[in-house]
Amino acid sequence: MALLLCHSPKGGVGTSFIAAQLSILLAERGHEVTALDFTYQDALKLYFGLLPAHKLPDMASHAGEATVVSGVELLSAHEPARDPAFARRLSEEGGAKPFGGERIYIADVAAGDRDTKALLFPHALLHICPLHPRPGSLAALPMVQPGTPTIELEKTVFVLNHLDDTHRFSRHSHVFLRELVGDRLIGTVRRDEAVNEAAAMFEPISRFAPNSVALADLVRLAAAVEQRCGIAKTAEAQP
């Protein structure tokens, strides 16, 4: 159905966290979801409650075995993305279209891995760019998609993660981004220590802290992504 590409030009802004939570929430909303971890850090699985030692099946070589958590199929894609044949086939004119079918693929790509980001971008229905309300993150805005002004990126949407209304610069960053990119700021996720604590406990936020404000924001974000992509299920299909 769709590839949703999660990548930010600045590391440490919660891209893996956003990718994982979107995967879980879209699965809860009735979609078939595969989360692809393209990062060397291999941290996506932590947000699914898996231990660091757990080895995810490789996207290219897994034969039938699957790691499915919270209704999401998890695959490691770091090594396959470095196969020159993978890049060649994805980038050739009129080439492969591997993200068809009914399934939603959510790719978690590290900030510094611009090659993989460039490779996947043409295939993505939506590019989700998480940001922090901090100068270091905002300063990376010119680098979202080099060659195209950030405000003209039609399939890029932004998520302001770690928003803290009690801090002035955080509030002002929110207003600034809203003015700059308009409705392409599709969500904000408030800073909530429950997110860290849930990950440290290897538990989903919904179980560890069901009243978490971050969780409520993420639910809104998932609905906004559905709407943006035109993939919202009917009300009857939702749990």
Partner 1 sequence: MRTDTTSLLQRLGQRDFRYREFYDAFADMELWPIFEALLADERVVGKPMSLLAKKAAEMPVEDGRRSAVRPITSTPPPRDQGLFTRYADPAAAPERPAEDLRGFLRNLSSKNQGM
Binding interface with partner 1 (CB under 8 A): 1-3, 34, 59-60, 80, 83, 85-86, 89, 93-101, 103, 105, 122-123, 125-126, 135, 138-139, 141-143, 146, 149-152, 154-155, 165-166, 168-169, 171-172, 175-176, 179-180, 182-184, 190, 209, 211, 213, 228-231
CA 50 from chain centre, in angstroms, equals: 18
Output the smallest distance, CB 121 to partner 1, in A.
10
Position 71, amino acid: G
| Nearest CA among 82, 153, 75 for reference residue 115 | 82
Output the smallest distance, CB 7 to partner 1, in A.
17
Q: Based on CB atoms, which residue is closest to partner 1, 43 or 213? A: 213
Q: Based on CB atoms, which residue is closest to partner 1, 17 or 105? A: 105
Q: Based on CB atoms, which residue is closest to partner 1, 42 or 58? A: 58
Q: Based on CB atoms, which residue is closest to partner 1, 51 or 133? A: 133
Residue with tokens 């440290």: 200
Output the smallest distance, CB 192 to partner 1, in A.
10
Output the smallest distance, CB 195 to partner 1, in A.
14
Query: Rounded to the nearest 5°, which phi and psi values hold at 139?
Result: -65, -15
Output the smallest distance, CB 24 to partner 1, in A.
19
Crossing angle (nearest 10°) for helices 15-28 and 213-229: 70
Strands in the chain per DSSP E: 2-6, 33-37, 67-69, 72-76, 104-108, 126-131, 156-163, 185-190
Output the smallest distance, CB 172 to partner 1, in A.
5
Nearby residues of 198 by Cβ (< 8 Å), 6 or more positions away: 204, 205, 207, 208, 209, 212
Q: Based on CB atoms, which residue is closest to partner 1, 93 or 236? A: 93
Q: Based on CB atoms, which residue is closest to partner 1, 52 or 102? A: 102
Token couple for 218: 């993420």
